A and B are shown apart, each in its own frame.
Chain A
Amino acid sequence: MEKTEYLDLYHQMVVIRRLEESAAELYQNGKIGGFLHLYVGQEAVSTGLIAARRPEDRVITAYRDHGVAINVGISANQVMAELLGKATGISKGKGGSMHMADVTKNFWGGHAIVGAHLPLAAGLALGDAYRDQKAVTICMFGDGATNIGFFHEALNLSKVWNLPVVWVCENNKYGMGTTIDRASAVSEIRHKADGYGMKNQVVDGMDLLAVRETALQVFDEVRNGSGPQFLEIETYRFRGHSMGDPERYRQQEEVKQWQENDPIGIYHQHLIKDGIATEEELQQVVKDAEAVVKTSVAFAESSPEPAPEELFTDIYMEE
């Protein structure tokens, strides 16, 4: 990677972190409605994955989607405007926090029913396989999604049809407030892929470069016909499941311990230690990222509400 690429990944992670922190504040001030699931702590997962994809590779994820949105190149303005339900939002204010997508950037959402997007991912990959296009579909989901039927149907179908999908489980240890050992018959999630004869491995999701390197290799294999593969990426969300989370299910010590393992901090240290960037340069990146987020809040707040007639548009392509 070039130095600018290293710095850009740092920039992306800081934008996500600051954007989520601003969103939390706006939520508490009543400016964001509905549910809000923050990606704080998990930034290295999607940043590393998306850094390894090619433009023709498709991405689809669950409802914790703001990070992916930033990583694929949706502007912070459009993400923040969507959170505020404005006409300038990436989904015109009709989707909200859980439903962001930009199909021109091969980002297919943002899906709020746990596990339901996994069969869709199989279908996206089928679209490429049908046309003999060498592209990978990257499908991200939480550990909670591995207990629902959709997961098993989708993994099975992808293997039966040898589809170019990379199934990425973001294991943040909790399905809402339920720990893995209370919800899943196997505690090491990747073993579920064994049941479908699928190659799988575990990756440290707090290490951006480890995620990126593994992803580069796996995407390459899948692109070249290995069939579907499974990645279990170990991570942790520093905030609650959503803004309405009383967090009675975990100890503050545990959260602290993980926060010391901050993905942005780890990457920061790496850039310094390997002499890729100086403290001053990284401080500048942080300042830039903060400016981007600050601008996005101003943009979103000053953006217009959707026009009333938008209520009745986009129901069908053909009336």
Chain B
Amino acid sequence: MARITMREAISQALWEEMERDPDVFIMGQEVGVWGGTYAVTKGFYDHFGPRRVRDTPISESAIVGAAIGSALTGLRPVAELMTINFAFVAMDHIVNEAAKLHYMFGGQMVLPLVIRTVGGGGRQLGATHSQTPDAIFAHFPGLKVVSPGTPADAKGLLKAAIRSQDPVMFIEHATLYQMRGEVPEGDYVVPIGKSIVQRPGRDVTIVTYSKMLEVSLKAADKLSQEGIEAEIVDLRTLRPLDMEPVIESFKKTNRAVVVEEGWPSYGVGAEISSRIYEQAFDYVDAPVKRVAQKEVPLPYNRTLEQMAIPNAGDIIAAVKEVL
């Protein structure tokens, strides 16, 4: 196994899938000649050529819409939206087309489509470029929503997404591209829709995903120094949601904190805690606590922005409240 960055892991998955299947192609803004705004597709244009690495105009509806159309013909497009904030411009095609066509036409239409995009705050990009609206996309039956927190999962889940017969939103995090981790070489596929325990523990269950996995792991290390052992469940896929490892862990610890970067209202924490009450009420020893972004549009100023985004201290405080 090689120790590589998240960026390299994603790039590797794309490259290998394009080598494996001539129907896989990439389209999006600056994916070609530029090499990708986050340098994920660097070198792809020269190797695979303009047919399979397609620069698009700044036209998010056309990007997602045309990706859907081409997927209907049996191609496997990986359509890149430069950031998830721009996905709102393509919302109709994600929600009213991608998530609906298979059902609405009685199963006739098949969409092996991946929408790769990037979310998250913390880079002083201001309110319109820093959002974590993952839960919105997880709201719609018909879509699959994946958001990895480690380089290995990024590679394995992206491969699974590209091979999936269903439309998948693949949400990366802008501050995780430099994260390093062990990543299996070659054909490594992680199934969509499987949560996983990333850190075993006995005292409290932390449920999280994406960037907040990294933050939660830091919090768990500090808690460990005080003798508190947190078990961390990484959701990895928001839809379809796999609650089994969460419930199993909760039945052991009887206490849970849900950590997400997005806003708490109607969010991932709300969903997870509600399901814990529904599925394991008899095991509840303390109210489930949510850690999430402050309910404000993210400001530009670094200090203010950092105040709004959950950190390890917030998680530690929440854990101590439920203990």
Contact = CB atoms under 8 A, between A and B. Distances in A.
- By size class, the interface of chain B is 35 or more
B303 interface: no
Interface in A289-319: 313-319
A122 B62 contact: yes
Interface in B157-195: 164-166
B301 interface: no
Given A113-B92, A116-B96, A319-B240, A123 B106 contact: no
B281 interface: no
B164 A122 contact: no
Contact of A313 (B61, B72, B101, B107): B107
A93 B107 CA distance: 11
B108 A103 contact: yes
Nearest to A102: B108
Contact of B72 (A89, A108, A110, A316): A108
A315 B102 contact: yes
Contact of A160 (B51, B57, B105, B110): B57
Interface residues of A, number: 45
Main DSSP-derived SS at the B contact region: mixed
A242 to B, nearest CB: 19
Contacts, number: 142
Contact of A318 (B61, B65, B77, B166): B166
Nearest to B144: A316
A123 B166 contact: no
A20 B61 CA distance: 33
A94 B106 contact: yes
A130 B51 contact: yes
Contact of A123 (B70, B108, B240): B70
Contacts of B57: 153, 156-157, 160
Nearest to B64: A119
A33 to B, nearest CB: 15
A92 interface: yes
Given A91-B108, A101-B109, A127-B73, 19 more contacts: A90-B106, A93-B106, A99-B104, A108-B109, A109-B101, A110-B105, A111-B97, A119-B69, A119-B93, A124-B70, A126-B75, A130-B75, A153-B65, A156-B57, A157-B56, A314-B103, A316-B165, A317-B165, A318-B165
List 7 A-B pairs, minimum CB-CB distance, nearest first. A123-B69, A119-B65, A127-B73, A92-B106, A317-B165, A123-B66, A153-B62
Interface of B: 25, 51, 54, 56-57, 59, 61-62, 64-75, 77, 92-93, 96-97, 101-110, 141-142, 144, 164-166, 240
Interface of A: 89-95, 99, 101-103, 108-111, 113, 116-128, 130, 149-150, 153-154, 156-157, 160-161, 313-319
14 contacts: A91-B106, A94-B105, A101-B105, A113-B92, A116-B61, A117-B97, A119-B66, A119-B68, A119-B69, A121-B69, A123-B68, A130-B25, A150-B92, A318-B166
